[in-house]
């Protein structure tokens, strides 16, 4: 049961994920969360480093779609200036939004990765959908109301994974 929450890979930051590494795995598309994965949940725009990361992915012909549980205004305001497709109110961990992103990108499931900072939404949804999942350390130490509740549960799951030697994680 708990293995549904175990990511295939984990990194400290989105910036550790490179186009070369993805290409080596046959990845053609990224389905990524927004808040606390790409930027802090309360930061309205992309940072210069993140813009560069998106540009590197584009140069490598790796498609990116943002899939967020947040509302349209938040996700659109972030995504539109970058010209990045998005799905808002995704209802993760339900897999429907992940599959829609896949269809919109025109790629197969084994050509995509799901990246996020939460076990209960991003990793669980990606794993349920049969995707390769990558967990990132949250970029902010604070969270919105609902996420704070989820983090308490996640800490218990992460501690269980740590004790079993299945995951090395940083808070």
Per the CB < 8 A criterion, the answer to whether 111 and 23 are in contact is no
Number of domains in the chain: 1
Q: Which tokens sit at 124?
A: 């669980």
- Residue pLDDT, tens place only, 6-37: 999 999 999 999 999 999 999 999 999 999 99
| 170 falls within a domain | no
Quick check: 67 pLDDT over 70?
Answer: yes
Assign residue 48 the CATH number of its domain: 3.40.50.1000
- Residue pLDDT, tens place only, 39-61: 998 888 999 999 999 999 999 99
Pairing outcome for strands 63-67 and 29-32 = parallel
Instruction: Name the pTM for this structure.
Output: 0.91
| 169 falls within a domain | no
- Residue pLDDT, tens place only, 88-125: 999 999 999 999 999 999 999 999 999 999 999 999 99
| 116 falls within a domain | yes
Range of the domain at 115: 2-163
Per the CB < 8 A criterion, the answer to whether 26 and 113 are in contact is no
| 135 falls within a domain | yes
């Amino acid at each position: 049961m708990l293995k549904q929450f175990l990511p295939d890979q984990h990194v400290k930051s989105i910036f550790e994920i490179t186009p070369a590494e993805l290409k080596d795995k046959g990845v053609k598309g990224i389905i990524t969360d927004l808040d606390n994965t790409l930027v802090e949940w309360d930061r309205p725009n992309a940072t210069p480093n993140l813009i560069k990361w998106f540009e590197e992915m584009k140069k490598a012909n790796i498609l990116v779609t943002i899939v967020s549980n947040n509302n349209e205004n938040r996700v659109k305001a972030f995504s539109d200036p970058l010209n990045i497709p998005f799905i808002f109110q995704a209802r993760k961990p339900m897999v429907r939004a992940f599959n829609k992103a896949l269809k919109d990108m025109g790629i197969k499931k084994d050509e995509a990765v799901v990246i996020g900072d939460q076990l209960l939404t991003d990793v669980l949804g990606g794993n349920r959908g049969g995707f390769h999942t990558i967990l990132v350390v949250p970029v902010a130490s604070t969270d919105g109301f609902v996420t704070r509740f989820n983090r308490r549960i996640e800490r218990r799951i992460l501690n269980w994974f740590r004790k079993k030697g299945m995951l090395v994680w940083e808070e």
